[in-house]
Amino acid sequence: MTPPSFILEYSMAFFKSTLVVSAVLLLASPVVAQQRVIVEQGNNPPRQENMVRVQNNITFFIAGPTGDGDEAQKLRDKAQRSVYEMAGRQCDLLREILAKDCRMESINVNVNANNRQFNQQQTEGLNVNGTMSLQITLK
């Protein structure tokens, strides 16, 4: 007795999908097990000992207008200035504590309008996020 054709079609589809999943898993397995290796080229200066990359993140909220007006623009400028001022002091702080030398590599500032609810009151203002990356030589 031959099984109905829809059962054979279902069995073939199941077999094919199982075969495809197995092949994908076999191909993906070596990728998961690989290590990331970084090779320094001959043109790059040798990596100095005691060199450390320091990354700082700061997030805060400033209450105030968020529209398109002059006051909102002043608030955005104030938010950005705050992050830049913090970044400007980071090397001094690191030199006081653990760095012989310091240089800033990058800084990123994001300012987003947001309405926060605090004690059941909506507060209009800016969410500010700053990220800075510095390269230091340890003392």
Q: Could you tell me if 21 and 55 lie in one domain? A: no
Percent of the chain with pLDDT over 90: 55
Q: Is residue 87 part of a domain?
A: yes
pLDDT digits (tens, 9 = 90+) for 16-44: 555 444 444 434 433 333 344 444 445 55
Range(s) of the domain holding residue 133: 51-138
64 belongs to a structural domain: yes
* DSSP-based three-state secondary structure for 122: strand
Buried b (16+ CB within 10 A) or exposed e, 33-71: eeeeeeeeeeeeeeeeeeeeebebeeeeebebbbeeeee
Q: Taking residues 68-77, report their average pLDDT.
A: 95
With a cut of 50, say whether residue 107 has pLDDT above it.
Answer: yes
Tokens of 139: 């003392």
Same domain membership, residue 31 and residue 64 = no
For residues 57 and 125, membership in a common domain is answered with yes
Are 33 and 57 part of one and the same domain?
no
Distance CA 44, CA 130 (A): 30
Count of the separate structural domains present in the chain: 2
Q: Is 55 part of a structural domain of the chain?
A: yes
Is the domain of 69 the same as that of 128? yes
Q: Please, what is the average pLDDT of the chain?
A: 76
Using CB atoms within 10 Å of the CB of residue 122, give its burial: 0 to 12 exposed, 13 to 18 middle, 19+ buried. exposed
Does residue 30 sit in the same domain as residue 55? no
Domain assignment of residue 42, yes or no: no
